[in-house]
Amino acid sequence: MLTRIDHIGIACFDLDKTVEFYSATYGFEVFHTEINEEQGVREAMLRINGTDDGGSSYLQLLEPVREDSTVAKWLAKNGEGVHHIAFGTADVDTDSEAIRDKGVRVLYEQPRRGSMDSRITFLHPKDCHGVLTELVTAAAPDSAGH
C-alpha cells in the first residue's frame, strides 16, 4: 500500500546552484547527497518533513554526470523541471507486482538500489497519464546512516 509522497524528482543542469535556490528561497536543507553511478546522476535530497509512517518527504535534485544517462537525455529534451514523482511503500516488491497485474508497465523486473539505500522501481509514464512514477521502500534508518 502506498503511504506517502516519498519525493519529487527535479532534473537540473547545475546541482549546486539548484540547491542554493531551494535553500535560500524556502529554507530547505540538504539531508543527503550521493552519486548514483548506475543512474548516472549526482543528487541531493532536501528533507521537507516527516510523515505518519515514519518516513519523510523530500525534493530530490538530479544533475546528470554522463551524457548517456536518462536524466541527461530528459534534460536535453525538456529542460529543467519536475522529472518524476515517487510514492513511498513498505513493500516495493509486492506493490509493484500488484500494479503490474493491473496492466501498468513496471520498468525494472526486480527493484534496484535507490537513494539512501532504498529499494526502487519505476512505472512507465505512458501508463500513468504522462507522469514517470517511482515506488520507494526506504532503507531501515540505521542502514542509510541516518
- Active-site annotation, residues: 7, 43, 60, 84, 134
Is the alpha carbon torsion for 48, 32, 17, 70 positive or negative? negative
Q: Specify the residue for cell string 516495493.
A: 92
Alpha helix segments (H runs only) across the chain: 15-26, 70-78, 92-101
Q: How far apart are CA 61 and CA 75, in angstroms?
A: 13
Look up residue 52 and give its three cell numbers.
505518519
Q: How far apart are CA 63 and CA 42, in angstroms?
A: 5
* Contact assessment for residue 111 and residue 93, using Cβ atoms and an 8 Å cutoff: yes
Look up residue 123 and give its three cell numbers.
512505472
